[in-house]
Structure 1
Amino acid sequence: MIDVARILLDSPLPQLDRLFDYAVPEGLSADAQPGVRVKVPLRSAGRMIEGWVIERAEVEPGGRPLSEVASVVSAVPVLPASLYSLARRVADRAAGSASDVLRLAIPKRMVRAEKTWLAADPPTAPAVTPDAAARARELTAIYPGLADAVLAGERIALDAPPHPTPGALRGAWSDLLAALAALVLDGGRSALIVVPDHRDQSQILEALAILVPDDAVVRDDARRSGPERFATYLRLLSPAPCIVVGNRSTVYAPAHDVGAVLVWDDGDPLLAEQLSPGVHARDAALVRQEEEHSALVFAGHTRTTDVERLVQLGWLRDIPAARRASPRVVLSATHEAEHRGARVPSAAFGAAREALQHGPVLVQVARPGYSPVLVCAECRTPARCRHCAGPLRARRPGATPDCGWCGRSAPNWSCANCAGTRFRMASSGSERTADELGRAFPGIRVIVADGDHPVTAVDARPALVIATRGAEPPAEGGYRAIILLDGDKMLMTEQLRIGESCLRWWSNAAAMAAPGAPVHLVGVTGPVARALATWTHPAYARMELADRAPLLMPPTVRVAAVEGVTVSVDRALAELREAVPDLGPLAVLGPVPTDDGSRALVRVDYAHGRAVAEQLRASVVADAVRGRRRGPGPRTTLRVRLDVPELDL
């Protein structure tokens, strides 16, 4: 019998996404245990490659001798069996590689951090005081049965309270999620809180500081240094429960005995993983819940169609608040006596003027900068860069415009349509809006909050806060009025989910209003405006699902993007139709030509999702092997991505 280690290689090559048997030398037998990282020879490449030991076994000698494990990188088992199982299932669902998932979950090894951790005393289980547990129960009482449902391991969809926490610079939603996590920790289990960005993370950490001791909270995000991240990861491997707060990769955190995974604002695009295999944190959380049978909560100020679909199927349980609360939303439009092009109607202008006597006012705009869009003053043709055809923009009045893509200036621009040489500002960015409103409200301080001017918080003094969507800073005590501008322009974006996105942007801003403060949505009518005004987001999501179902639009179906050289795409589609004959004639859209070949979309119902993922993955592997045999030239041209949110060919 031969002592064998079955190893998953840390390689992006799809044909290597399986377990390989390596003989374990006697000198490495004690350290080469499941979960540790090792180095092994790769015969086909003639080099060493790292991998993880997944399991040990004894096998009969075969006709061909096995290669031996070359060395053990570290004797610390950093890959628990539960994490490998999760990564394998997530990768299989997305037609990807398990090593790509593990690369997102396991940070790079830091030797000094590892030695420090091994020399330190193991962490102890943190305790939640009875007063804190009672306070947590009180915070969750506005949702009858919520706390018991989470402790029982149920799957829940939750509409978060849409108002700030009194006397604090955070939303009430953060107190609610912190309370649920504290109750899970009080029961001796870990909780994961997944949020889109650092601002949401800061609010959660502030809320947790009131309920649990500092050593109970583990911060997990990419803004930390390499040694800090690796030390944090080692802390999660210890058998002591904790509360993990971080971004999308936190959904894979190997915390001890996870009792609940809490996902905030799953509609935020920051929760969609850009790296291969591109699995959204929401989908990874659903897979993890099936693996571990922990509680799962999707909370937000809006309801995504993805979550509402699961509610309609009975997979998620909707728990409403005992008393429905909503901001005071006003649909504002210009009156007949007002100038047709007035950007701020008189009703919204009057509300802002009155609110500025008591505190800050938030004005949300679509874009940053001064004038993000310029047009020809003569024929209104959009002004384009002569080098790259990108849109020209103005950074300030009278300045030479520059390109929004390549950054080149355009001092001698002329219109390609009419040869005109004069510009006209066709839109107002955050800085131009600040100039205009600053003149309209003299003596009032104006604060610009966007990507170039990040603002973390605003005090209670009167101020005009001009913020782009998603960059709104919290205000002490909440904003005394909120004006949502450019809504009609936002809705004109050609995206399938633009209605959902706009409703989320507006709702997240409206939730920052002080109790009773008006929220004016300017110049927007229709279903999205009504959903905001009545605060009936689940109903809007249901309507969207009903509209998309007959058109086979996501998320009523799963959509896979297949792209690469034309011959590879055609072969993959032909193999898919042969392997899954029930796809139907409307399942495949395309292929259409692209810069490097062609691209096609495959629409499948969820019942066929596994079979389609397996077949597409087999096509990717086969194409990679064929490319390797061809010799020099392009390799692994076929690329597959499942659950793409848009039908974009």
Structure 2
Amino acid sequence: MPGGAVARVLVDSPLPQLDQLFDYAVPERLRERVRPGVRVRVPLRTGGRIADGWLVELADTSEYGGTLSELEDVVSEVPMLVPEVWALARAVADRAAGNASDILRLAIPSRYVRVERSWLASPGEPGPPPEAPPPVHGAPAGRVEAGVDGGERMTLTADPRPLRLPTGEWVGAWAVALAQAAAHALHRDRSALLVVPDYRDQEQLEAALRALVDSRRVLRTDARQTGGDRYRAFLDATRDDARIIVGNRSTVYAPAARLGLIAIWDDGDPLLSEPLAPGVHPRDAALVRQEQSGAALLFMAHTRSVEVERLVGIGWVQAIEPAAQVRPKVVLTEQQASPEPGSARIPSSAWRQAQEAVREGPVLVQVARPGNAPLLTCDRCRETAHCAACGGTLVVPRAGGDPRCVLCGTSASGWRCPVCDGTRLRAATVGASRTAEELGRAFPRSLVILSDGERPVLRVGAEPALVVATRGAEPIADGGYRAVLLLDGERMLLRESLRVAEDCLRWWSNASALAAPGAPVFLVGVGGALATALSTWRQPEWAATELAARRALRFPPAVRVASVTAGHAAVTRAVDAVRGIDGVDVLGPAPTGEEDEGLQRAIVRFDYGAGARVARELRAEMIRVATERRRPVAGRPVRRPPVLRVRFDDPDVP
């Protein structure tokens, strides 16, 4: 065949047996349009179907001995799958025993023909590169800049206070530090990828970038954009100009010319966990991309995640000590000399401070959950109260009356605790709406602002106000809050999860960082090592202690885990395939709770060094199950083909 007459194509399909490159002949009519990275349509031999795919590379010959099928068409002549993104997708998919096409579906947005034509007709003006930006805020002079220039892997504990930008806007000091690091990379004519958990963080980071670089150099990629805007931003990222690309999880896969920096803010936030297959966390994708590209990698947070602490412990990531020991003034109500009588939700000392502070400016009250109905626990042992009929959670109805089940509505009259035989219930927490109503009555002359998932508030002014916010929905206040009350700490810790303490410490730390310098922060109802870590602002030490405890128990991230879900026979064959690998042990299988489907789940734990082999073996089992043929039995309904689900680093594994 003539040069470039064979196209190697990745078919866009979730089927594991199709996760490989297939050779197709390039017909003469398409010879001038094909190039690596373009979208194509190809025929599949089964049923005469046509499928979408990506042309990964062109070759002169094929190892296939038969006659090659021809490409059906070229969908778009814009090469959107750049080589570095393909290499990243292939590597992270193999690491997670997943499909590369699933990764590319996250990385590359849907095509908009009109936007593409407009983009091809305009050359695009990225704007001038920035002047030399100031040193990164909160870090020793020149330390982060030297790391960016040298392609180092770094972690930095963010300065916990708000800062005022030259534009007059207030943002967290962390946003200024990340913007300065990205501006430094851009000054060196290198691109930067900035990954944040949600739009609240993105708004602050973009405000900080506007004060440092030309807005034409900043590209936004997130789910709140229209499809056309996101597609245009992606096309702009494929140009040869250095850019700063800001967005959520999928930003780590964005194309970037001369990548110089990958930065992730608050990598422990659950919002960064990828729910779609194969469930690769952007932190892991960033680590792979850093190795492939040689770019610098920066993790920044108020609370270092246990995963990053493991990387620091093995020397893979360098911890940068903050330039100055700045920390909020945290007061632990559980350690007060005169403890509160009874079970007051807001201790008198915190109440008095809030009354005084609200005269000067905004006061933040963080609560555990939205809504009105309180969650109930046993008054004696504090065990969460569940319905005796169906196991649902018991709450107090908004209209009042006896506690009822949130699922079946059964009254809880005559309830008895299965743990201690107690018969009395108590409210573990009150929702944000009810808290706002109660504070409105207690502070009749103060403005009460409610911020939660349904009614988000991004910013509040410096005027006096009581701001009631659920965890993670706290708005930033001009000049910082004059006082912060962290309520429902005991309720937050009731959640059954391996990461509950880590999550609570992060929620409390992020809220504490919104306080004005010197303003009091009250943590209500929580004591022990976790509260001490917050009050002394020594979160890295707590993360190291937590990692040591997990290592003793062989819990993530001391080891990696993979959940394997299918029928009993398929799960048994899959775990048997990996049992003999050094460093592997298996928990289960056990029923998943979906009795109607007869599914079981096993947990495979393994050392990091065994990850590649475990992924290969489980991947082979997935393909075997997917291609297994079952003969129909007379008189029996035809069942769906069996599926073996494998999730590496599953966040739902307790």
Shorter-chain TM-score above 0.5: yes
| 2:589 is aligned with 1:583 | no
CA–CA distance in structure 2, aligned partners of residues 562 and 325 of structure 1: 45
- Listed one character per residue, the Cα deviations across residues 72-101 of structure 1 (whole Å, up to 9, x for unaligned) are 111111111111111000100111000000
Q: Is the 8 A contact 1:553 1:647 kept in 2?
A: no
The code of the aligned residue for 2:154 comes to I
| 2:204 is aligned with 1:206 | no
- Listed one character per residue, the Cα deviations across residues 4-25 of structure 1 (whole Å, up to 9, x for unaligned) are 1110000000000000011111
Per the alignment, residue 520 of structure 1 pairs with: 522
Instruction: State the Cα distance separating 1:380 from its structure 2 match.
Output: 11
Instruction: State the Cα distance separating 1:568 from its structure 2 match.
Output: 0.7
Per the alignment, residue 154 of structure 1 pairs with: 152
Per the alignment, residue 256 of structure 1 pairs with: 257
Instruction: State the Cα distance separating 1:375 from its structure 2 match.
Output: 7.4
Per the alignment, residue 49 of structure 1 pairs with: 51
SS in 2 for 1:528: helix
SS in 2 for 1:69: coil
Per the alignment, residue 74 of structure 1 pairs with: 76
Per the alignment, residue 640 of structure 2 pairs with: 634
SS in 2 for 1:494: coil
**1:20-39, aligned counterparts within 5 Å?**
20-39=22-41
| 2:285 is aligned with 1:284 | yes
Residues 354/59 of structure 1: CA separation in 2 closer, same or farther (3 Å cut): same
Instruction: State the Cα distance separating 1:64 from its structure 2 match.
Output: 2.4
The runs of at least 4 consecutive aligned structure 1 residues that moved more than 6 Å come to: 375-388, 399-403, 628-631
Instruction: State the Cα distance separating 1:115 from its structure 2 match.
Output: 0.6
The code of the aligned residue for 2:480 comes to G
The code of the aligned residue for 2:646 comes to V
Q: Is the 8 A contact 1:144 1:322 kept in 2?
A: no
CA–CA distance in structure 1, aligned partners of residues 630 and 149 of structure 2: 51
Q: Is the 8 A contact 1:335 1:345 kept in 2?
A: no
Residues 46/515 of structure 1: CA separation in 2 closer, same or farther (3 Å cut): same
CA–CA distance in structure 1, aligned partners of residues 614 and 588 of structure 2: 17
Instruction: State the Cα distance separating 1:492 from its structure 2 match.
Output: 2.3
The code of the aligned residue for 1:149 comes to G
Residues 215/61 of structure 1: CA separation in 2 closer, same or farther (3 Å cut): closer
| 2:353 is aligned with 1:355 | no
CA–CA distance in structure 2, aligned partners of residues 401 and 120 of structure 1: 63
The code of the aligned residue for 1:638 comes to L
**1:222-621, aligned counterparts within 5 Å?**
222-333=223-334, 338-373=340-375, 390-394=392-396, 396-398=398-400, 404=406, 410=409, 413=411, 415=413, 417=415, 427-578=429-580, 580=581, 582-584=582-584, 587-594=585-592, 595=594, 596=597, 597-621=599-623
User: After alignment, is 285-294 or 332-341 more displaced?
Assistant: 332-341
Instruction: State the Cα distance separating 1:425 from its structure 2 match.
Output: 5.2
CA–CA distance in structure 2, aligned partners of residues 259 and 378 of structure 1: 57
User: After alignment, is 142-151 or 43-52 more displaced?
Assistant: 142-151
Residues 312/377 of structure 1: CA separation in 2 closer, same or farther (3 Å cut): closer
The code of the aligned residue for 1:215 comes to R
Instruction: State the Cα distance separating 1:426 from its structure 2 match.
Output: 5.2
CA–CA distance in structure 2, aligned partners of residues 61 and 573 of structure 1: 34
The code of the aligned residue for 1:193 comes to L
The code of the aligned residue for 2:211 comes to I
- Listed one character per residue, the Cα deviations across residues 440-478 of structure 1 (whole Å, up to 9, x for unaligned) are 323112112112321121111111111111111111110
CA–CA distance in structure 2, aligned partners of residues 90 and 490 of structure 1: 33
CA–CA distance in structure 2, aligned partners of residues 316 and 338 of structure 1: 44
Residues 629/35 of structure 1: CA separation in 2 closer, same or farther (3 Å cut): farther
Residues 149/140 of structure 1: CA separation in 2 closer, same or farther (3 Å cut): farther
SS in 1 for 2:170: coil
The code of the aligned residue for 2:591 comes to P
Residues 247/62 of structure 1: CA separation in 2 closer, same or farther (3 Å cut): closer
CA–CA distance in structure 2, aligned partners of residues 518 and 573 of structure 1: 53
The TM-score, its normalising length taken from structure 2, stands at 0.92
CA–CA distance in structure 2, aligned partners of residues 572 and 244 of structure 1: 40
The code of the aligned residue for 2:233 comes to T
SS in 1 for 2:574: helix
The TM-score, its normalising length taken from structure 1, stands at 0.92
Q: Is the 8 A contact 2:405 2:412 kept in 1?
A: no
Instruction: State the Cα distance separating 1:385 from its structure 2 match.
Output: 7.4
Q: Is the 8 A contact 1:371 1:425 kept in 2?
A: no
Q: Is the 8 A contact 1:381 1:415 kept in 2?
A: no
Residues 568/426 of structure 1: CA separation in 2 closer, same or farther (3 Å cut): same
Instruction: State the Cα distance separating 1:617 from its structure 2 match.
Output: 0.9
Residues 143/341 of structure 1: CA separation in 2 closer, same or farther (3 Å cut): farther
User: After alignment, is 383-392 or 496-505 more displaced?
Assistant: 383-392
User: After alignment, is 58-67 or 566-575 more displaced?
Assistant: 58-67
Residues 206/602 of structure 1: CA separation in 2 closer, same or farther (3 Å cut): same
The Cα RMSD (Å) is 2.7
Q: Is the 8 A contact 1:195 1:265 kept in 2?
A: yes
Q: Is the 8 A contact 1:192 1:243 kept in 2?
A: yes
CA–CA distance in structure 2, aligned partners of residues 426 and 259 of structure 1: 48
- Listed one character per residue, the Cα deviations across residues 180-218 of structure 1 (whole Å, up to 9, x for unaligned) are 111100110110100000010000110011110110110
CA–CA distance in structure 2, aligned partners of residues 382 and 143 of structure 1: 50
Instruction: State the Cα distance separating 1:60 from its structure 2 match.
Output: 6.1
Per the alignment, residue 649 of structure 2 pairs with: 643
User: After alignment, is 210-219 or 24-33 more displaced?
Assistant: 24-33
Instruction: State the Cα distance separating 1:382 from its structure 2 match.
Output: 7.3
Q: Is the 8 A contact 1:12 1:97 kept in 2?
A: yes
Q: Is the 8 A contact 2:428 2:488 kept in 1?
A: no
Q: Is the 8 A contact 1:548 1:554 kept in 2?
A: yes
Instruction: State the Cα distance separating 1:370 from its structure 2 match.
Output: 1.2
**1:108-123, aligned counterparts within 5 Å?**
108-121=110-123, 123=124
User: After alignment, is 386-395 or 473-482 more displaced?
Assistant: 386-395
CA–CA distance in structure 2, aligned partners of residues 42 and 242 of structure 1: 39
CA–CA distance in structure 2, aligned partners of residues 147 and 617 of structure 1: 41
User: After alignment, is 331-340 or 490-499 more displaced?
Assistant: 331-340
Residues 548/186 of structure 1: CA separation in 2 closer, same or farther (3 Å cut): same
Per the alignment, residue 135 of structure 2 pairs with: 137
CA–CA distance in structure 2, aligned partners of residues 247 and 390 of structure 1: 34
CA–CA distance in structure 2, aligned partners of residues 381 and 560 of structure 1: 30
Structure 2: tracts of 5 or more residues without a match: 417-423
Residues 482/414 of structure 1: CA separation in 2 closer, same or farther (3 Å cut): closer
Instruction: State the Cα distance separating 1:138 from its structure 2 match.
Output: 6.4
Instruction: State the Cα distance separating 1:436 from its structure 2 match.
Output: 2.5
- Aligned-residue sequence identity (percent) comes to 52
Instruction: State the Cα distance separating 1:402 from its structure 2 match.
Output: 7.8
SS in 2 for 1:205: helix
SS in 1 for 2:477: coil
